Chains A and B, each alone.
Chain A
Amino acid sequence: MDRSGSGSGASSWAARLAALGLPFALLGGLLTACGTDTDVPVLTWYINPDPAPPADFQGSFGQAGIAERCSTDDYRIQTQTLPGDGSQQRIQLARRLAAKDPSIDLMSLDPVFTGEFSAANFLAPISEDQASDLSADALAGALEGATWDDRLVVAPLWANTQLLWYRKSFAEKAGLDMSRPVTWDQIIEAAAENNGTVGVQANKYEGYSVWINALIQGAGGAIISDNEAGVDASIDIDSPAGQAAAGVISKLAHSPAAQRDLSVSNEGTVLGPFAGDRGAFQVNWTFIYANYRGDDATFDDLGWTRYPQTEEGKESRPPLGGINIGVNANSDDVEDALTALSCITSVENQVTYALETGNMPASATAYDDAELKQAYPEDLLELFRNSIDAAGPRPVSAYWSDISSALQSTWHPPNSVTDRTPAKSADFIGEVLQGRTLL
């Protein structure tokens, strides 16, 4: 092309024009190719990343598989993957939704975003009929995390919860009766006396708020109430329940049962020590069962029971996680997206998804599925279901991310927690909500 263009001025211009035009022509061709390929409307579903499929897996995996199965003659569902980190998912979605981006139709949301996204009117309302269909079979904890202002605003796809995982041999050595509910005091003392450790999540991140919230709810209290009042919600953390939570955290932080990296611990850092010589207890999500499957020594010794009680005799409220599906209020095709919502969160899809990824269903009947019963011990499955049913979700508030950050600022590091911490954090949360201080 260079040679032909070097002749005269005119032909060099022609060559340049041709060079400029060629890519555009190609691009145009590609675009039309895309267009003609699909005559049906395309719904775009923004998903959180799924775990990697096993090497021998055929076809579409996880949420992409659900998208394929729920595509109909009227529309096709395609997935877009969000960042792995929950707070980055929130930022990316909220910025697009606030700009009324119609290209998002469906989205996978962490339950803690329910309040914020609903209050901002980002989510398309679900009709009462559809809501009652979607919630008929859902476990209570999962439902609570999907509800805003007494209405179902998102549909649960799967639910996560935490259990107390323990080494059977250690519990036996310590003489703890694990068939009965145990308290935090009991396991901390048992671990300390028998040279074991208790794994928790206490880095300065959302996981620490999960722990604090579970401790407070377990003592019958709450961080805030009257959540729908937004910045004027009532701040209840400075209460006997708050004191009980602070007591547990302080006790562990000053006990030999604490792991050395307590102040930077997360779901991953506690896995190694649990399998090590001093492994005794850890509170962690449902993935633990699959996690130790390859490690026979630990797996055979792995025991599970309900999340520990904050105060003896008071039922614990295990943490709740998982993913709910929401529909963008500004989607070009809200009607089709709402239809797809019911398919995506159907019992069959929840079961398949649980079998593929190990993420537990949010629907009660899904737990009766024969295949699922084959994949997990029956008592574990039962425990998952009961824990999700009794779970204490983090407060569904439009300001949860602020409250959580304020909580982390005042309760971190764990060894600084005293009986004055609940009062201090109540003041700070109030200041933050009223915009009187920087966070």
Chain B
Amino acid sequence: MSAATAPAAHLDRPPKVSDRAKAENALGRKLVLPAVVVMLVVTAYPMIQALYLSLFQYRLTTPDDKSFVGLGNYATVLTDSLFWRDMWNTVLIMLVTVAVELVIGFAFAMVMHRIIFARGVIRTSILIPYGIITVVSAFAWQFAFSLNNGFVNSWFSWLPWISSDTNWFGDHWHAMFAIMVSEIWKTTPFMSLLLLAGLSQISEDMLEAAKVDGATWWQRLTRVILPNMRAAIMVAVLFRALDAFRIFDNIFVMTRGAQNTESVSFLTYRQVIEQFQLGLGSALSVLLFLSVLLLAFLIVKLFRVDLAAARGEA
């Protein structure tokens, strides 16, 4: 925190690079070179390959019919109602789950931060769901919501909209609800972990000062804690939003995309893996990648997140 003034002073005069700094930079570049090469091989190559494949009509099972279609696959995808329906599902899941996770995650972060007794046990138990594999969590929630042997219907039948024969996977909204519950249960601990990091950066002095000035609990939360955590909150939202946008496992296990619960990732999976449509599927993957990129850009720009600040490197 005390270093916060340094960059401002730094900007005033043109940077003068000494010989030693130059040499260090050159050495640094050499040292990262192997990592860059590995990254290019394992990341850039498949991406370029996908970009190339997306320009062809190409099926794994009819390789002889491979033909160049230019941007035709993109036109097919972007003019297809199925794509937009799945895109809407994905955005909806992302918005709802991230919003709910942010609130619950913040409450958990406060608990983990303030807890005095049994600190290790409580922190660990809050984090347990995050340690569980998503597929396992999806199966657990599928059983929980199951019409035949789930507990949700019997425990919550006192609610007016739940009865003993509510078929959670029988229609769109019920199924979406079940998917979102599983997703929220599984990833809220991750959110609270990121928020806890932000929370612990806030100096106690500021809170003490606010208290002395007569600020209420709510005022301290909204005027001191949240503004000072902005970077951490935005990093948490960014990470979770990008993750939620690529949701796949829960849908795959719980509904297999039935009842219009398909996400864009799931649509891509079906095109590439089930239908062997490498061209169309690659076009979808590229579009999915661009959407994630756009989303990241929007969150970073709109909320002016400084990733370096969030890591305490300012």
What is A's interface to B at a CB cutoff of 8 Å?
A: 87, 91, 94-95, 98, 116-117, 119-120, 122, 204, 230-231, 264, 398, 401-402, 405, 435-439
Contact = CB atoms under 8 A, between A and B. Distances in A.
A245 B277 CA distance: 31
B43 interface: no
Contact of A119 (B62, B82, B270, B275): B62
Contact of B61 (A94, A204, A264): A94
Contacts of B57: 435
Nearest to A122: B61
Contacts of B228: none
Given A98-B63, A120-B62, A120-B63, 10 more contacts: A91-B273, A94-B276, A119-B61, A120-B61, A122-B61, A401-B274, A402-B275, A435-B280, A436-B76, A437-B82
Q: Which 7 A-B pairs have the closest CB atoms?
A: A120-B61, A98-B60, A438-B80, A438-B82, A116-B61, A435-B57, A437-B80
A438 to B, nearest CB: 5
Contact of A438 (B63, B170, B271, B274): B271
Interface string B37-65: 00000000000000000000100111101
A264 B271 CA distance: 24
Contact of A398 (B61, B267, B271): B61
Nearest to B75: A436
Contacts of B77: 438
12 contacts: A87-B274, A98-B61, A98-B276, A117-B61, A120-B63, A398-B61, A401-B274, A435-B76, A435-B277, A438-B80, A439-B270, A439-B275
A438 B62 contact: no
A404 to B, nearest CB: 11
A229 B173 CA distance: 42
Interface string B54-94: 00010011110100000000001100101100000000000
A267 to B, nearest CB: 18
A405 B271 CA distance: 12
B258 interface: yes
A438 B267 contact: yes
A438 B264 CA distance: 12
A94 B60 contact: yes
A91 B274 contact: yes
A196 B65 CA distance: 51
A405 to B, nearest CB: 8
B74 to A, nearest CB: 12
A438 B61 contact: no
Contacts of B267: 438
A255 to B, nearest CB: 21
B151 to A, nearest CB: 22
Given A87-B274, A401-B275, A438 B65 contact: no
A94 B273 CA distance: 10
Contacts of B271: 438-439
Contacts of A402: 275
A88 to B, nearest CB: 9
Nearest to A264: B170
A374 to B, nearest CB: 39
Contacts of B80: 437-438
A362 B8 CA distance: 83
Counting chain A CB atoms within 10 Å of each CB, the highest count among B57, B61, B258 belongs to B61
B276 A438 contact: no
B65 A230 contact: yes
A95 B61 CA distance: 9
Nearest to B258: A204
A98 B273 CA distance: 12
Contacts of B270: 439
Nearest to A203: B258
A87 B274 CA distance: 8
B273 A438 contact: no
A400 to B, nearest CB: 11
Contacts of A120: 60-63
A409 B80 CA distance: 15
A435 B66 CA distance: 12
Contacts of B277: 435
Nearest to B284: A438
B45 to A, nearest CB: 17
Given A401-B275, A402-B275, A437 B63 contact: no
Nearest to B83: A438
Nearest to B69: A435
B60 A438 contact: no
Nearest to B279: A435
A353 to B, nearest CB: 29
A264 B270 CA distance: 21
A98 B66 CA distance: 14
Counting chain B CB atoms within 10 Å of each CB, the highest count among A87, A117, A398, A439 belongs to A439
Contacts of A398: 61-62
A264 B148 CA distance: 14
Nearest to B271: A438
A438 B258 contact: no
Contacts of B280: 435, 438
Contacts of A122: 61
A436 B57 CA distance: 11
Nearest to A90: B274
Nearest to B169: A264
A119 B198 CA distance: 58
A119 B60 CA distance: 11
B64 to A, nearest CB: 8
Contacts of B60: 94-95, 98, 120
A157 to B, nearest CB: 23
A87 B82 CA distance: 22
A119 B280 CA distance: 20
A405 B256 CA distance: 14
Contacts of A91: 273-274
A438 B277 CA distance: 10
Contacts of A119: 61-62
A95 B274 CA distance: 10
Contacts of A437: 76, 80, 82
Interface in B88-141: none
Contacts of A95: 60
Interface string B229-260: 00000000000000000000000000000100
Nearest to A409: B82
A95 B275 CA distance: 11
A117 B59 CA distance: 12
A264 B147 CA distance: 13
Contacts of A264: 170
A87 B256 CA distance: 13
Interface string B270-306: 1101111100100000000000000000000000000
B133 to A, nearest CB: 19
